[in-house]
Amino acid sequence: MQVYGEAAKAIKDAILRSQYHAASFVNKEQLSLYYAIGKYVSKNSRKGFWGKGAIDSISRLLHEELPGLRGFSSSNIKNMRLFYEEWSDVINRQPLAGDLDIPTVIAHNEIDENLLLRKIGESNDEFKWSDFFAISFSHHLEILSKAKTLDARLFYIHESAIRFWNKYTLRDYLKADLYNHRGVLPNNFTSSIPNSNQALKAVKTFKDEYLLDFINIEELDEYDDGINERVLEKAIVDNVKKFIMTFGQDFIFMGNQYRVEVSGEELFVDLLFFNRELNSLVAVELKSGKFRSSYLGQLSVYLSALDVNVKKSHENPSIGILLCRDINHSFVEFAIRDYDKPMGVATYRATKDMPERFRSAFPDIEELKKLL
C-alpha cells in the first residue's frame, strides 16, 4: 500500500505541475492562436476570395461543429484579424515555407518569445515579451483601440503586466490618457493608489525636478549630510512661499519637523503639506546627497504614522516625496515598485547647479525688480 501511496503522490505532483504549466502558458497559447487565425482571416478577407458575410458564416459553422464554443463570434474573429493587422508590421519573423494555410500557421505558432520587434529597440529597450503574453486578449483589444502609437501601446502593456491591472482599471487609465500625462518622476502611484483618477492626479501634481534658486549651494556643500539637510530645510522654511510656488498649486504648509508619535516613539517629518486637489497630506523628506534605497523605508513608516494619527477620515492616504540632490532613475523605479505606500522621488537644483547656458537664460533678479 505504501508503494501505491508513493505512486499516487508522484502522479498528483505531476498533475499539479502540468496544471501550473498550462495556466502559465494559456495566455501565450491563446494569443498565438488568435494571431494565427487573424492572419489567416486577414489574408483571405482583405485580398483573398472570401465574399461579403464570410466571417459571419464561418462563425456560425464553427458553433455548429463545436457546440458551446466561446470566443469565436463573428465580432471576435474580426478582433483577431485586427490583432494580427495591428501587430504584423512590427513582428519580425522568417516567412514560413509554402502557402500560409491555417494549419501551417498555427503549427508554427506565429507569436514566439524568440521573435523580435523591429522597432521596439528604438522605442523601449526595457520591453519584454513576457509582458506581451502576461495580459489577456481583452487587454490587448482595449490598448489597440485607444493607444495609437507603438510607444504608447508598449507602455500600457508593460504597466498592465507589472501592475496587474484588470481590464477596467486599464480602461480608466486609457481614458485618462496616462501615457501622455505621466511625468518622469519615479513613483509607484499607479500601483499604490487604487483609484485611477486619484493616481493620475498624483502623477500630474509632482515634477521630477525642482529649481530652488534661493538655496546657497556653497553653504550646503560645507557640511556632512545630516547638517546639510537641516541647512536645506531652513532655507526652504525661510522661503516657504517661494517653495510652494515652485512645488505647485493647492499646497498648504503644515510645518517642518512635524512630530508624530507611534507606540512611544517620536517621528519627525521634515516638511508636511496638505494638497487640496489631492485631498492628501504630503510628506517631503529632504536629502542633501544621492538617493539611497533605505530612504524609502523611512518615508513609508512616516506615511503609515500620518495615516493612522494625523489623516482625517474624509482625506485620501498620505503621499510621500523624497527630494534628493541626485538620483539614478532606473534604480529608483526598481527600488520603489514593491512599496504599497504612494511615494515619488524628485531632485532639486539651485541656479548655480545649472549649466552656464541655462543660467544666462534666467533674468537678473535686480533687473527684474527694476522692470516691475
How many angstroms separate the CA atoms of 329 and 126, rounded?
13
Q: What is the pLDDT of residue 210?
A: 84
How many angstroms separate the CA atoms of 347 and 345, rounded?
7
Indicate the helix (H) or strand (E) that contains 189.
helix 189-192
| Coil/strand/helix, residue 27 | helix
Q: What is the pLDDT of residue 122?
A: 43
> How many alpha carbons fall within 13 Å on the CB side of residue 365?
3
How many angstroms separate the CA atoms of 254 and 246, rounded?
17
- Global pTM exceeds 0.75: no
How many angstroms separate the CA atoms of 39 and 220, rounded?
63
How many angstroms separate the CA atoms of 72 and 61, rounded?
10
Angle at 27 between CA 190 and CA 10, to 5 degrees: 115
Query: Which set of grid coordinates corresponds to residue 251?
Result: 499646497
Q: What is the pLDDT of residue 320?
A: 97
Q: What is the pLDDT along the chain (372 residues), one digit of tens a residue?
A: 555 566 666 666 666 566 545 544 678 888 888 888 888 888 888 876 787 788 898 888 888 888 888 888 999 999 999 999 999 887 754 333 333 344 444 444 444 444 434 444 444 555 677 788 888 899 999 999 999 999 899 989 988 887 778 898 899 888 878 787 666 789 999 889 988 889 988 988 888 888 787 776 555 555 555 667 888 888 888 888 888 877 877 899 999 999 999 999 999 999 999 999 999 999 999 988 899 999 999 999 999 999 999 999 999 999 999 999 889 988 999 999 889 999 999 998 875 554 444 344 444 444 434 443
Query: Which set of grid coordinates corresponds to residue 258?
Result: 512635524
